[in-house]
Structure 1
Amino acid sequence: MATEIADGVWRLDCGGVNAYLVFDDVPTLVDAGTPWDEGAIRGGLSDAGVDLSAIGRVLLTHYDLDHVGTLAALTPELDAPVHAYGFDAQLLRGYRTPPLGNHKGLIQRLGGLVTDLPELEIVGVRDGDAIGSFTAYHTPGHTPGHVAYVSEELGVALLGDLVSESDGELTESGWVISYDTGAVAASVRSLAERAPAFDVACVGHGDPLASGGDEALRRLAATL
């Protein structure tokens, strides 16, 4: 099911996790659900009136089973570059494996057993890169290569799992699902300082905020 939460911004509800469709300079898919969410992604795009073949790029906030899971299943209709950062891009390419010495790395290892890697172009992202109207902000902690994308033009922030939503407020990624909670807190504070104003906060888990997104991020940052 897809819901338009702001002009040109659609939430693709996959049940326990969100993906998004953003009409930027090209139709942009943001994250891609679990390996079992192919029907939800395809159905959501159809609800939004977009053919899978029309997607011009994928913005990946990070490598986790519930954010990259359907990419392989969506090809060959999906034929678009996937933008990912650093270590997480290396995981998506299959060049590296998550570390067993970190509890979250172990979780990712287990998730990798049921996650096929996509045969798509993986484009490395750097902090500050402009991708369409979005700027990439490296926000490590949940994963080493977690990245948020903010469009000043659209007033939209794609926050992935840096934060989640609960009762209309944002909460930082917790220990169980993070590589480093100290880095998470630093990333929240840094993004609140660096990012331009935005209304819409698109989160991986919970309900996206259709207004006041930057204020909610700053409120959270002030507590960390």
Structure 2
Amino acid sequence: MTLPPNRVWRLRLRGVNAYLVDADVLTLVDAGTPWDAKRIRSRLEDVGFEASDIERVLLTHFDLDHVGALADLGPDLDATVHVADPDGQFLTGTAQPPMTNHKGALQRLLGAFLTRPDLPVEVVEDGDEVGPFEAVRTPGHTPGHTSFLHEGFDVAFAGDVVREIDGELKPTSWVMCYDAGQNRRSVGRLADRALRLDVVAPGHGNPLRGEAGDSLRRLADRL
């Protein structure tokens, strides 16, 4: 699926989405599972690119299905990864997800399937501008979960703060969150920041077009 303005592509992977954005530099938003590298490379070729063309990777959070293919996209990938801590520390291995949290314990177990990428990592903070993208901290699903807004393209890359089910946005279930209450508050925070944008691009489910901020606001008001 190509999203307006025909420079944003949804990459359908194994139960999860990544997004390719032809912005100031070619940008990959999230990176699928460890078994998705071949599919990502193929989709890149379909739209006229190679992995070596990617100069920036934006990670909404550290989960196996969002960071898994980074290490296997090819030796020519020379991109800088932008991610918020502590998820960035989980990615680099300088810290481990906590076993005292049910979601953290799951991340630790699934970490056995992860090959850590040998790429430079830059930590993003709330409100940082990464090229034309704005970072919006939306914790709860993970402690460092961050959404990325591209106002010029009218897209909110929401990661797993919400998901699309049967044409509607839903919050990620409590069992997949570090803190479900914090995640619900993050829905409202993202709605406030994405109010004027047209498309919500979630990590799971279909992107929703048309008044993305309103859709997020209606969901936040119900929570």
- Name the TM-score class by shorter chain: over 0.9
Cα pair distance change 1:214/1:195, threshold 3 Å: closer
Q: By how many angstroms is 1:211 displaced?
A: 2.7
SS at match of 1:179: coil
SS at match of 1:113: helix
Q: By how many angstroms is 1:196 displaced?
A: 4.5
State the distance in 2 between where 1:209 and 1:177 align: 22
Residue in 2 aligned with 1:132? 131
1:149 aligns with 2:148: yes
Write the letter of the residue equivalent to 1:163.
V
Residue in 1 aligned with 2:101? 102
Identity rate, percent: 53
Residue in 2 aligned with 1:195? 194
Q: By how many angstroms is 1:216 displaced?
A: 1.1
- Contact 1:143/1:179, CA 8 A, preserved across alignment: yes
Residue in 2 aligned with 1:182? 181
Aligned length: 222
SS at match of 2:148: strand
| RMSD (Å), alpha carbons | 1.0
State the distance in 1 between where 2:127 and 2:61 align: 16
Q: TM-score, normalized by length of structure 1?
A: 0.96
Q: By how many angstroms is 1:141 displaced?
A: 0.2
SS at match of 2:134: strand
Residue in 2 aligned with 1:208? 207
Q: Deviations over 1:61-119 (max 9, x none)?
A: 00000000000111422110000001000111110011111000011011100001100
Residue in 2 aligned with 1:159? 158
- Contact 1:136/1:148, CA 8 A, preserved across alignment: yes
Residue in 1 aligned with 2:63? 64
Structure 1 stretches of 4+ with a deviation exceeding 6 A read: none
- Contact 1:150/1:196, CA 8 A, preserved across alignment: no
For structure 2, the residue ranges without an aligned partner over 5 or more in a row are none
- Contact 1:133/1:154, CA 8 A, preserved across alignment: no
Q: By how many angstroms is 1:139 displaced?
A: 0.4
State the distance in 2 between where 1:49 and 1:75 align: 17
SS at match of 1:106: helix
State the distance in 2 between where 1:195 and 1:59 align: 18
Residue in 2 aligned with 1:13? 12
Residue in 1 aligned with 2:33? 34
SS at match of 2:97: coil
Q: By how many angstroms is 1:210 displaced?
A: 2.9
Write the letter of the residue equivalent to 2:191.
A
Residue in 2 aligned with 1:122? 121
- Contact 2:164/2:202, CA 8 A, preserved across alignment: yes
Q: By how many angstroms is 1:157 displaced?
A: 0.6
SS at match of 1:86: coil
For structure 1, the residue ranges without an aligned partner over 5 or more in a row are none
State the distance in 2 between where 1:190 and 1:34 align: 28
- Contact 1:75/1:118, CA 8 A, preserved across alignment: no
